[in-house]
Structure formats: structure tokens, C-alpha cells
Amino acid sequence: MAMPNPINPEDHGEEIPSTSARREHEDNVLAALQADLEGSTAAKLAAQLVPVVPDGGHVGRAITPAVHKAAKVGDTVRLWAPAAATAAFAGAAMVFPLTGPLAIYGAGLVGFAFWHCAGRPGPIQALLMVIYTTTDALDRIREWVRDLAERRAAYEDRRTKSQ
């Protein structure tokens, strides 16, 4: 989501720097310990260890699909809640009289909802999104005008040739 988990380094891209010298040193230490471990009681015990996956047992395996489904629904609701609030405000504005300050508040709510649903971009990303959206809209309008001109030219050709 938008707020990374500070405990889990994978959530925010933190990487522990590792150089080749450091890896070589670690391999040397592990090799020395491996030689000491061979044939000992600890090695026999280590061979018996089986990794345990904490899946919650029967109950955990039974409710895991429902938990994943609820998490997906929760993410969707969290993402689209501002848009739903905006739609509710727009519907109320159409039914009830709207005063000036309330209209300004509603415009701010609409702006916030679009900003929030777009992933809360910074100023540069927001400006780029506006530019890209505007250029895409202008390209579509240009296509519609071109198609309209082609259809109009075809119509004029048919109209003038039939006379």
C-alpha cells in the first residue's frame, strides 16, 4: 500500500550491501564451521531438522482463502472510498441546494478523491499526469475531427457525383 512497513525491508527496497570480499569472508567462516561440525552430535541433530512452515494448522489452512479475499475487498474499498464519497457529494449537490462555501468544499473533495485514487502522486507526477491526460485527450479529439472530415469528404463526393 502507500505506507511501507518499516519492519519489513522488502516493503521499502532496503538492501543490505554485500561486497564480494564480505561474501568470501562469510563463506570461509562457514567452511571452517562446517569442518568442525562434521561427524558430531550437532550434525546428526541438524540432519533431523525439518523446516516448519507456520500455516496456522487446520484452522489457518481453512480460513486463508477467506482472509485473502477479505484483504482484496479491503484494498479495493480503501482505494475507491474517496471516489465513492465524491459521487455521494455530487449526488447530494444535484438534489439539495448548494451554497458557495459548500461548492468550494465539494470541489476540494473531488480534487482530493482524484489525487488519492491516483496513488497520491507528488507535484511533478501530478503535473505529468495532467499533461499526459491532456495530450491523450487532444489526440483523441484530433482523431475524431480527422474521421469527421473524412466522412464529410466521402459524403460530399457521393453527393456531387450522384447529380
Long-range contacts of 115-122 (CB under 8 A, 24+ apart): 116/82, 117/79, 117/80, 117/82, 117/83, 119/2, 120/2
Task: Look up residue 52 and give its DSSP letter.
Answer: -
CB count, 10 Å around CB of 114?
14
Q: Are residues 93 and 138 in the same domain?
A: no
User: pLDDT tens digits for 16-30?
Assistant: 667 888 888 888 888
Taking Cα atoms as reference points, which of 64, 77, 154 lies closest to residue 116?
77
Q: Are residues 126 and 95 in the same domain?
A: no
User: Domain range spanning residue 91?
Assistant: 59-120
Q: Are residues 114 and 127 in the same domain?
A: no
Q: Are residues 111 and 138 in the same domain?
A: no
Asked if the structure places residue 41 within a domain, the reply is no
Asked if the structure places residue 38 within a domain, the reply is no
Q: Are residues 126 and 108 in the same domain?
A: no
Please, which pLDDT band fits residue 13 given cuts at 50, 70 and 90? low
Q: Are residues 129 and 152 in the same domain?
A: yes
Please, which pLDDT band fits residue 149 given cuts at 50, 70 and 90? very high
Asked if the structure places residue 113 within a domain, the reply is yes
Mean of per-residue pLDDT scores for the chain? 82
Q: Are residues 116 and 130 in the same domain?
A: no
The pTM score is 0.36
Question: How large is the average pLDDT for residues 62-76?
Answer: 85
Q: Are residues 155 and 134 in the same domain?
A: yes
Asked if the structure places residue 97 within a domain, the reply is yes
Asked if the structure places residue 32 within a domain, the reply is no
Q: Are residues 91 and 65 in the same domain?
A: yes
Q: List the alpha helices (DSSP H) in 50-122.
A: 57-95, 100-117
Q: Are residues 87 and 129 in the same domain?
A: no
Asked if the structure places residue 146 within a domain, the reply is yes
| Count of the separate structural domains present in the chain | 2
Q: Are residues 77 and 110 in the same domain?
A: yes
CA distance 60 to 44: 32
Q: Are residues 109 and 140 in the same domain?
A: no
